[in-house]
A and B are shown apart, each in its own frame.
Chain A
Amino acid sequence: DFEASFIRLIDKVTNGSRIEINQTGTTLYYQPGLLYGGSLEHECSPSRGIGYYLESLLCLAPFMKHPLKIVLRGVTNDQVDPSVDVLKATALPLLKKFGVDGEGLEIKINRRGMPPKGGGEILFTCPVRKVLQPIQFTDPGKIKRIRGTAYSVRVSPQMANRMVESARSILNKFLPDIYIYTDHMKGVSSGKSPGFGMCLTAETINGTILSAELASNPQGQGEAVLPEELGQNCAKLLLEEIYRGGCVDSTNQSLALLLMTLGQRDVSKVLLGPLSPYTIEFLRHLRSFFQIMFKIETKTPEEEHVGGEKVLMTCVGIGFSNLSKTIR
């Protein structure tokens, strides 16, 4: 279901790709085309969050022929996928580090949609680049502030405040500079299902952004969650993320690694927290597709109180350049 929607999305952003699925849906033939971009709209399946689609678009968008401007509709925040808020807060600064910046890079949440019915809408725009810059990103720096969003749709606006209160109660022990926005959507911009949740980001002085998020159980599934509890848990998740550390938060590890791989033929370095299983799988894919292996070094922090072990990933880019961009 969501895979089919994903394939449709890929078909939309490309030109000349051929996709064949047999009747039983067990085999997929895919002949890649050319990334085309342009102004698009896509209806995402509500069984997965928009994050699922957006993640892959983030990987592809800098290499389109025309700058991508796409409207995605579906579930903006759910419990499974990284929510749009998190991607907006973490992935975009990461892209900027690779030289994909400028005014075109933006994720805008027009409407929020919670599972199971969705109804959210986002606008994602991304400029195109010919080559990516290599990065040296080995010092995460100290966390200077914590920001966040507590959102609630089709429930009492008080929920958001309650979440904020509880999250602050935990985080205040570490840092005074905490500001969590409450975002209560009303009317048409609130989607079709009720729900609430929050996402927190911790920003360091070097521009590293770590994030954590939690969302309430979708309506009619599981028992109701207390906003206080959710807030606290979310804060704890953020602390966990901070404990893991690294220069890229765990959700975006694979994105960072991919962009490093696709860089110029220079050495890129990035310090990560422990590799997530997804990232490990991703590394294997990178190897089979690009013949690229990362030099993986574990770094044990010398100091006592800066969290768990880190992994230093080093690679030489494959010298990828955007073949679809037109030159004049």
Chain B
Amino acid sequence: MEEKEKKKHRSKHSGPKAEKKRKRYLNELGIGDEENARKRNPKAFTVQSAVRMARTFHRTQDLKTKKHHIPVVDRTPLEPPPVVVVVVGPPKVGKSTLIKCLIKNFTRQKLVEIRGPVTIVSGKKRRLTVIECGCDINTMIDLAKVADLVLMLIDASFGFEMETFEFLNICQVHGFPKIMGVLTHLDTFKNNKQLKKTKKKLKHRFWTEVYPGAKLFYLSGMVHGEYQKQEIHNLGRFISVMKFRPLTWQTSHPYILADRMEELTNPEDVRINPKCDRKISLYGYVRGAHLKNKSQIHMPGVGDFTVSDVSFLPDPCALPEQQKKRSLNEKEKLVYAPFSGVGGIVYDKDAVYIDLGGSHAHEKVVEVRPNHELVQSLISTHSAIDVKMASSKVSLFMDSRPLGSEDVGQEFVMPKEEREMDSKSGRVRRKAVFEEEKENDDAVSDEEDDEEEGEAMSENGSDGDDEDEGEEESDRELLGEEMALGRVKRLKTEVAKEEAVSEVPAFADSDDDLEVSSEGEEGKAAPEESEMEEDEEEELEDEQNESSDSELEAAGKRAAESEQEEINSGDPEMRSGVSERGLKRKAMLTTDSGNCTAEEASESETENSSLAESDDEGSHDELQAQESDGKGSKHTQARKADSVNQSKHKAADDDVENLLRDEDEYEEQIGFSAETTGALKWKEDLTEKAAQAFLRQQRSTPHLRKLVYGTAAEDEDPESEDAGDELGGLFHVSRPDKASKQKANALDCSKFLVEKPQDWALEEVMSSIRDCFVTGKWEDDKDAAKLLEEDEELYGDFEDLETGVVHKGKPASEEDESGSEEEEEAGKTPKPEPEEEEEKKKERMDKKRKLKEMFDAEYDEGDATYFDDLKEEMHRQAQLNRAEFEDQDDETRVQYEGFRPGMYVRIEVENVPCEFVLNFDPHYPIILGGLGNSEGNVGYVQLRLKKHRWYKKILKTRDPLILSLGWRRFQTIPMFYIEDHNGRHRLLKYTPQHMHCGATFWGPITPQGTGFLAVQSVSGATPDFRIAATGVVLDLDKSITIVKKLKLTGFPFKIFKNTSFIKGMFNSQLEVAKFEGAAIRTVSGIRGQIKKALRAPAGAFRATFEDKLLMSDIVFVRTWYPVSIPTFYNPVTSLLKPAGEKDSWSGMKTTGQLRHEQGIKVKQNKDSLYKPIVREKRHFNKLHIPKALQKALPFKNKPKTVEKKGKTPRDQWRPAVIREPHEKKISALLSALSTVNNYKVRKAKMKHKEQLKEYLKVKQKEDEQKFKREKEAKKKIYRILGQREKKMQKSSLKGSSKGEKSW
């Protein structure tokens, strides 16, 4: 019997058991499930997709680099100017209230009325200048240019208004300052939800305008007419910690937001001509860049001016001194707003009121200098001097500069006299710069004294002493007209200088003296007082002695000089002179005296004697006088003996520097005296000995400076004032002139010829430059040998890899070490091998360390990107900028670098239109914008321009447009153009709707890259958006290349084959000659070329075409005609308009406007009018073919006469079938049946299809499973097979190896 086959075991394919098994199996193989693997080895799964990875990397890098700005050198000074906070918004939104609240928050003061900028100290390191901006577009434009921070007030109950958007757009164009939105009128919302919604809506709109995430403040409501304290406090905190971005225009130009204006015009001139140009002084902080004296400025709304003088004043709103406290104390919370009447004086149209009891006692009230016109009027009311006197006095004082009132906010309180001094300190920094040119040359030096005295008097006057004033008056009248404006100024500087040197109490006393002296002039000299003076003098002298000898001499000379000159007019003056003039003054006066001596040929002895006399008379300080006398005499003698004899000087005095300086002055003096004496020796000397003296001359820095900058520098430099000019009052000689004269005949060559070469053969001469060469000795830190040594010490021994030589450093120490080691190991058995090993180990360690160091250095270096390097470099430069002039006093610093930002300055401007003063309104900001080099010029400016998308109209070429560019607002006539593909600038009649186009106008030169905006009119209020276009300056040029198309037409008058003669295009042969070879075309498109002119008619020419022309053709040539640009440039002088009409400036009108106003219609060309097109009906005759022709034609071409078809005959008609009712029934039934059948068949088909589908699905599934199974099975089998094979192989290998062995 055959054995029944047993059923084989079928392993489970599904169910938990199978699952378990599979798992075990997989684990055995070491392939866990995926999740497990991820946990086990996360690093392996970081990169899912390389592409995605690359993209993310790209993106992060993009974001990173996007944040980078081009690094700029940080040029902000240590003490920055106040931050300009512009509060802007539509009317009735709460601007003034906000400002008041802010001021109250910071200073605890309540201002009633805000006019003009208000400067407050908001923190230890920050001041704010808050200014309100109305919705006049002029004001908005001006303030957007100077703003650091904009507080944009938005009426939440109303929403955004046009002004807000306009201002934002203005800001965008002129550099985007920080903008903070403030929502007000939030209390009008009763519904909380509505409030929230509005806030959100406004916020998001604001964000789209500024930047996403811009700060928007909410002021929830008013309490007693003020905003809530806490909210304002928070806002203030925000403001005072805010950081600002540097704006290109602002950082590259100096500018001043004037917070005070005064008129300095001579009242007499005004009386004569009330419309005369005025001279005004403006006060404010310098911002942006360094302001240079004599530079050009632009006052938006007024015009361009040249600064006639700048001087810096003590800060009226100074930052607190160094302190460690966290907050400011009450005293330091200053507020300064002259226009609003805070900080001392309240302005009215024609008077000034002094606000005595400020809200804080420490807020020092300004005492106004009497030489200020306005104040003068005030005083006159006090003293009741008759009007004429007052006016005359004013005129006198007008010559001098107005002083004082700068010292507002000085911390110390003191009685009257001190105050005077205080005021003086106000003068202290006054400089007279470059004033000499304008000055009268014949001003006599003795005037100075008089003036000084006068000044003293004036001080008396300010004390309210009527009598004194009277005296002064008389004095003035005596001295009268000779006075030159500049002299007074200079004088004052001197006084100021002196004061700066002398101690405060001393000075106060000397002021006393002054008064006394002035009295003394009247003959009331009081002996006691003079004694007092003496004391003071001594004090002064002591100080001076300490400082330097030369000053003493100078003082002496000064004394002498004044004595000489004023010997008749009382000595107290002189005394006062001496006492007043501080050391510097004295120093500079040396020259004066010297000159005087030269002129008058008076010996030094006379000087001495005169001085002695003066001493006697005035009971002067003898000690000082004698000392100075002695020196003075010495010097004068020396001078006379030998002008350039320096050795003598050295012998006379050991202080070389002093001498050198003196000598220099001497030279000058001699130069001047030379003109009187006619001895031109000095010149020869100079030229001859220049080479020899050069090095020696340059020994001392001040000397060299003087040498280079000559008297001009001295003028600037109050020390040496008076030195060069107006000696004897007759000769006005400036040093540069002299120098140029000296050089005039010389060859203009930059080569520095060696006059007397050293003998280079000599050993010592040679050795003098030995170290200039690499072969010479080096400094310690650079000496290669030394460095090498140090290196060795550092790194020990090293091996020169190239040569293979092992350098051993510090052999001795090594020996020591080894010795010690040996000693250590003495007890043990000496083992040289391990020692060696140790050494090697050490060596290795060393090497490693070095390598690591190298790597570290490299890595750190390599990590720095180009950007970082650049940043670092900028930082270094910034540091250098700060450090370079830090140690110098302001006086000299100003000369080197100009008035740095943060300084409070007073700027004098001349030739200001009188309307500016007459129609002055402090509500409108006065900005002095500094202009760079050649930015004051006018030329053609090319712009890239785009019409603003919110502006309703397009702009027309040749319509006047008001541009705001740089500091300026001006009206000009732009021409729009577009650049063709070949670089041609083609004129456009209108700006494109949504595209950039070019524009060129005649106007002020402004650097490329400056943004601008255009408005069509600055006057009136339109509901529409006012900004017409925006853009950027591309190029500046002196010529323009805009062309417009010009087609010249002509007509053929004779036609050959392809050649025609054309007339009517040109007028002469010459014109044709110019166009020879030009391409021409007919309207019908036949192209051709101009060949040559014909003799007659004039202007006709021969031309060839590609085809034959018709007589009716019109020929034209396309040419380009350069367009000239109207040179129209009209600054918007909105500040000159009368108050209340300042926003009504209107310049040139557009033709359209004019037409509209005058009701003139455009004359239209009849030809270019559109008429309805009338097309007359065309009538064609029938084609007629002659009979003969018809006959001759072939059949197919013969005209066929197709006759009409006749009616079909009756018999050919077909009858219609008519069914019987029975037949009808049958056919109906048949059709119904067939329908039913059709339906059934279709249904069956559908069913069948469905079934088939089902079946296929099932089958596919089964197939899949089957396939899977098979695959599994195959896999298993193969694996097993593989394993078996492996085993086999292994065994075979073993076997073979065994076999080998066996072999």
* A interface residue numbers (CB < 8 A to B): 15-16, 33-34, 52, 55, 65, 80-82, 134, 136, 142-144, 170, 173-176, 205, 235-237, 239-240, 242-245, 250-254, 264-267, 269, 274-281, 283-284, 287-288, 290-298, 303-309, 311, 314-316, 318-321, 323-328
Q: Tell whether, in the assembled complex, residue B708 and residue A306 are in contact, meaning their CB atoms are under 8 Å apart.
A: no
Q: List 6 A-B contacts (CB under 8 A).
A: A174-B770, A267-B877, A275-B708, A284-B736, A292-B292, A297-B701
Which 9 A-B pairs have CB atoms at the shortest separation, nearest pair first?
A16-B1038, A276-B752, A250-B752, A305-B771, A291-B292, A305-B770, A316-B897, A326-B1035, A142-B774
Proximity string of chain B (995-1019) to chain A, C-beta cutoff 8 Å, 1 when within and 0 when not: 0000000000101110000000000
Contact among A267, A297, A309 with B695 in the assembled complex (CB-CB below 8 Å): A309
Known contacts A274-B694, A291-B898; A326/B1008 CB under 8 A = yes
Task: Report the nearest A residue to B291, measured CB to CB.
Answer: A291
Q: Tell whether, in the assembled complex, residue A296 and residue B739 are in contact, meaning their CB atoms are under 8 Å apart.
A: no
Contact among A144, A173, A287 with B709 in the assembled complex (CB-CB below 8 Å): A287
Contact among B699, B705, B767, B1037 with A296 in the assembled complex (CB-CB below 8 Å): B705
Near A by CB (< 8 A), chain B positions 721-768 give 736, 739-740, 743, 746-752, 754, 757-758, 760, 766-768
Q: Tell whether, in the assembled complex, residue B749 and residue A52 are in contact, meaning their CB atoms are under 8 Å apart.
A: yes
**B679 interface residue per 8 A CB criterion:** no
Q: Tell whether, in the assembled complex, residue A142 and residue B1009 are in contact, meaning their CB atoms are under 8 Å apart.
A: no
Q: Tell whether, in the assembled complex, residue B933 and residue A318 are in contact, meaning their CB atoms are under 8 Å apart.
A: yes
Q: Tell whether, in the assembled complex, residue B768 and residue A293 are in contact, meaning their CB atoms are under 8 Å apart.
A: no
Q: How far is the CA of A251 from the CA of B751 in the complex (A)?
A: 5
Q: Tell whether, in the assembled complex, residue B771 and residue A298 are in contact, meaning their CB atoms are under 8 Å apart.
A: no
Task: Report the nearest A residue to B782, measured CB to CB.
Answer: A142
Q: Tell whether, in the assembled complex, residue A287 and residue B712 are in contact, meaning their CB atoms are under 8 Å apart.
A: yes
Proximity string of chain B (768-801) to chain A, C-beta cutoff 8 Å, 1 when within and 0 when not: 1111111111110000000000000000000000
Near A by CB (< 8 A), chain B positions 678-726 give 690, 694-695, 698-701, 704-705, 707-710, 712-713
Residues of B within 8 A of A307 (CB): 768-769, 772
Of the listed stretches B831-839, B880-888, B1214-1222, name the one at the interface; the rest are far from the partner chain.
B880-888
CB distance from A98 to the nearest CB of B (A): 14
Contact among B704, B758, B880 with A298 in the assembled complex (CB-CB below 8 Å): B704
CB distance from B467 to the nearest CB of A (A): 46
Q: Tell whether, in the assembled complex, residue B933 and residue A80 are in contact, meaning their CB atoms are under 8 Å apart.
A: no
Q: Tell whether, in the assembled complex, residue B1005 and residue A305 are in contact, meaning their CB atoms are under 8 Å apart.
A: no
**B215 interface residue per 8 A CB criterion:** no
CB distance from B869 to the nearest CB of A (A): 14
Q: Tell whether, in the assembled complex, residue B1039 and residue A15 are in contact, meaning their CB atoms are under 8 Å apart.
A: yes
Task: Report the nearest B residue to A142, measured CB to CB.
Answer: B774
CB distance from B903 to the nearest CB of A (A): 15
Q: How far is the CA of A174 from the CA of B769 in the complex (A)?
A: 9
Q: Tell whether, in the assembled complex, residue B896 and residue A237 are in contact, meaning their CB atoms are under 8 Å apart.
A: no
Given A280-B739, A298-B704, A309-B698, 15 more A-B residue pairs with CB atoms under 8 Å apart are: A16-B1038, A16-B1039, A52-B749, A174-B769, A205-B774, A239-B769, A240-B757, A243-B768, A274-B698, A288-B736, A293-B896, A308-B695, A316-B290, A326-B1034, A326-B1035
Residues of A within 8 A of B690 (CB): 277
Q: Tell whether, in the assembled complex, residue B739 and residue A236 are in contact, meaning their CB atoms are under 8 Å apart.
A: no
Contact among A82, A173, A276, A323 with B1008 in the assembled complex (CB-CB below 8 Å): A323
Near A by CB (< 8 A), chain B positions 48-95 give 73, 75
Q: How far is the CA of A248 from the CA of B1007 in the complex (A)?
A: 31
**B934 interface residue per 8 A CB criterion:** yes
Q: How far is the CA of A64 from the CA of B707 in the complex (A)?
A: 34
Q: Tell whether, in the assembled complex, residue A15 and residue B1038 are in contact, meaning their CB atoms are under 8 Å apart.
A: yes
Residues of B within 8 A of A319 (CB): 252, 289, 932
CB distance from A306 to the nearest CB of B (A): 5
Q: How far is the CA of A280 from the CA of B686 in the complex (A)?
A: 14
Residues of B within 8 A of A81 (CB): 749-751
CB distance from B713 to the nearest CB of A (A): 7
Q: Tell whether, in the assembled complex, residue B1034 and residue A328 are in contact, meaning their CB atoms are under 8 Å apart.
A: yes
Residues of A within 8 A of B757 (CB): 236-237, 240
Contact among A175, A240, A316, A318 with B758 in the assembled complex (CB-CB below 8 Å): A240
**B294 interface residue per 8 A CB criterion:** yes
Q: How far is the CA of A251 from the CA of B753 in the complex (A)?
A: 10
CB distance from B291 to the nearest CB of A (A): 10
Q: Tell whether, in the assembled complex, residue B750 and residue A309 are in contact, meaning their CB atoms are under 8 Å apart.
A: no
Q: Tell whether, in the assembled complex, residue B749 and residue A320 are in contact, meaning their CB atoms are under 8 Å apart.
A: no
CB distance from A278 to the nearest CB of B (A): 5
Q: How far is the CA of A307 from the CA of B765 in the complex (A)?
A: 9
Q: How far is the CA of A315 from the CA of B705 in the complex (A)?
A: 13
Residues of A within 8 A of B932 (CB): 318-321
Residues of A within 8 A of B708 (CB): 275, 280, 283-284, 294, 296
CB distance from B1164 to the nearest CB of A (A): 40
**B188 interface residue per 8 A CB criterion:** no
**B293 interface residue per 8 A CB criterion:** yes
Q: How far is the CA of A142 from the CA of B782 in the complex (A)?
A: 11
Q: Tell whether, in the assembled complex, residue B772 and residue A134 are in contact, meaning their CB atoms are under 8 Å apart.
A: no
Residues of B within 8 A of A65 (CB): 1037
User: Max chain A CB contacts within 10 Å: which of B699, B769, B770?
Assistant: B769
Q: How far is the CA of A239 from the CA of B294 in the complex (A)?
A: 43
Q: How far is the CA of A106 from the CA of B774 in the complex (A)?
A: 29
Q: Tell whether, in the assembled complex, residue B776 and residue A305 are in contact, meaning their CB atoms are under 8 Å apart.
A: yes
Task: Report the nearest A residue to B876, measured CB to CB.
Answer: A136
**B939 interface residue per 8 A CB criterion:** yes
Known contacts A34-B1036, A305-B776; A276/B701 CB under 8 A = no
Q: Tell whether, in the assembled complex, residue A174 and residue B775 are in contact, meaning their CB atoms are under 8 Å apart.
A: yes
Q: Tell whether, in the assembled complex, residue B1034 and residue A173 are in contact, meaning their CB atoms are under 8 Å apart.
A: no
Q: Tell whether, in the assembled complex, residue B884 and residue A314 are in contact, meaning their CB atoms are under 8 Å apart.
A: yes
Q: How far is the CA of A243 from the CA of B695 in the complex (A)?
A: 12
**B820 interface residue per 8 A CB criterion:** no
**B895 interface residue per 8 A CB criterion:** yes
CB distance from B384 to the nearest CB of A (A): 47
**B295 interface residue per 8 A CB criterion:** yes
Task: Report the nearest A residue to B750, measured CB to CB.
Answer: A278
CB distance from B981 to the nearest CB of A (A): 15
Task: Report the nearest B residue to A17, measured CB to CB.
Answer: B1038
User: Max chain B CB contacts within 10 Å: which of A283, A288, A305?
Assistant: A305
Q: How far is the CA of A245 from the CA of B773 in the complex (A)?
A: 11
Task: Report the nearest A residue to B1006, measured CB to CB.
Answer: A323
Q: Tell whether, in the assembled complex, residue B884 and residue A267 are in contact, meaning their CB atoms are under 8 Å apart.
A: yes
Contact among A174, A281, A324 with B1036 in the assembled complex (CB-CB below 8 Å): A324
Residues of B within 8 A of A33 (CB): 1038
Residues of B within 8 A of A281 (CB): 739-740, 743
Proximity string of chain B (302-313) to chain A, C-beta cutoff 8 Å, 1 when within and 0 when not: 000000000000
Q: Tell whether, in the assembled complex, residue B1008 and residue A327 are in contact, meaning their CB atoms are under 8 Å apart.
A: yes
User: Max chain B CB contacts within 10 Å: which of A82, A251, A277?
Assistant: A277
CB distance from B628 to the nearest CB of A (A): 29
Proximity string of chain B (325-356) to chain A, C-beta cutoff 8 Å, 1 when within and 0 when not: 00000000000000000000000000000000
Residues of A within 8 A of B769 (CB): 174, 239, 242-243, 305-307
Q: How far is the CA of A265 from the CA of B254 in the complex (A)?
A: 12
Q: Tell whether, in the assembled complex, residue B713 and residue A293 are in contact, meaning their CB atoms are under 8 Å apart.
A: yes
Residues of B within 8 A of A244 (CB): 752
Q: Tell whether, in the assembled complex, residue A303 and residue B771 are in contact, meaning their CB atoms are under 8 Å apart.
A: yes
Residues of B within 8 A of A320 (CB): 932-933
Residues of B within 8 A of A15 (CB): 1037-1039
Near A by CB (< 8 A), chain B positions 254-313 give 289-290, 292-295
Q: How far is the CA of A175 from the CA of B773 in the complex (A)?
A: 7
CB distance from A305 to the nearest CB of B (A): 4
Q: How far is the CA of A190 from the CA of B896 in the complex (A)?
A: 49
CB distance from A313 to the nearest CB of B (A): 10
Residues of A within 8 A of B700 (CB): 298
Residues of A within 8 A of B740 (CB): 281
Q: How far is the CA of A280 from the CA of B760 in the complex (A)?
A: 27
CB distance from A60 to the nearest CB of B (A): 14
Residues of A within 8 A of B295 (CB): 291
Contact among B760, B774, B881, B1037 with A143 in the assembled complex (CB-CB below 8 Å): B774
Q: Tell whether, in the assembled complex, residue B750 and residue A143 are in contact, meaning their CB atoms are under 8 Å apart.
A: no
Q: How far is the CA of A321 from the CA of B709 in the complex (A)?
A: 26
Q: Tell whether, in the assembled complex, residue A325 and residue B750 are in contact, meaning their CB atoms are under 8 Å apart.
A: no
